[in-house]
Amino acid sequence: PKRRAAVDLSLERLGLTARQSQLAGSLSGGWKQRLALAACLIHAPRLLLLDEPTAGVDPKARRDFWDQIHALAAQGITVLVSTHYMDEAERCHELVYIAYGKILARGTERQIIDASGLKVWAIRGEDLNGMLATLKTAPGVLSVAAFGNAVHVAGQDAALVEAALQPLRQRAGLQIAPADANLEDVFISLIATAPDNFELPQVAPGGRP
């Protein structure tokens, strides 16, 4: 009886009661993820570890899944989630950036952005792709990334980034203005400056590493 009650409660929590007679293989990706989460909740854990739980699901299913995660957190359950989606990272109370087996940053969204010291400019206009390669190699530029109809150029030395942008200010049709740094700007910049300690050592012909 207790096991049945635990199963029923878990299904109810995740909105699966109406689908409890449906074969798992016939569920969509989003519902399968809900089912997996429901299975994790049966034994009433205090800590949940979820490894990229929304990979491969549609945007609505992702949002619904995260609503469930927040509901669990509100009940006192600690949820540790790994994700490559920065919009999902923004939903977390605390973040840890890990690359190449090392922690690069830790804190709230605001703390990580402020600690990065990034200065960001947004470029809007036509033919933005043609300038990406040049900007990426410019001194002081840590990251160049497309965001919708704009390109974000970020660095910690404002003077150097301004110098890299100066030739573009002469082009007609381009709008260049300061922008607020976001988590993706920080993430790309951290990856760009982090040493790859997984990289294999270079070996000279006939030599040793």
How far apart are the C-alpha atoms of 6 and 14, rounded to whole Å?
A: 13
What's the pLDDT at 199? 58
What's the pLDDT at 14? 74
What's the pLDDT at 197? 57
Buried (b) or exposed (e) across 118-154, using 16+ Cβ within 10 A? Answer: bbbbbbebeebeebeeebeebebbbbbbeeeebbbbb
Q: Which residues contact 165 (CB under 8 A, 6 or more apart)?
A: 121, 123, 135, 153, 176
3-state helix vs strand vs coil in the chain, percent to 5: 45, 20, 35
Q: What is the pTM of this model?
A: 0.75
* Per-residue tokens: 166: 């100066």
**Residues of the chain falling short of pLDDT 50:** none
Taken in order of first residue, the domains within the chain and their CATH numbers are 2-93 (3.40.50.300), 109-193 (3.30.70)
Best CA proximity match to 67, nearest among 10, 15, 112: 15
| Single-letter code of the amino acid located at 28 | S
What's the pLDDT at 202? 57
* Per-residue tokens: 8: 């029923």
What's the pLDDT at 78? 95
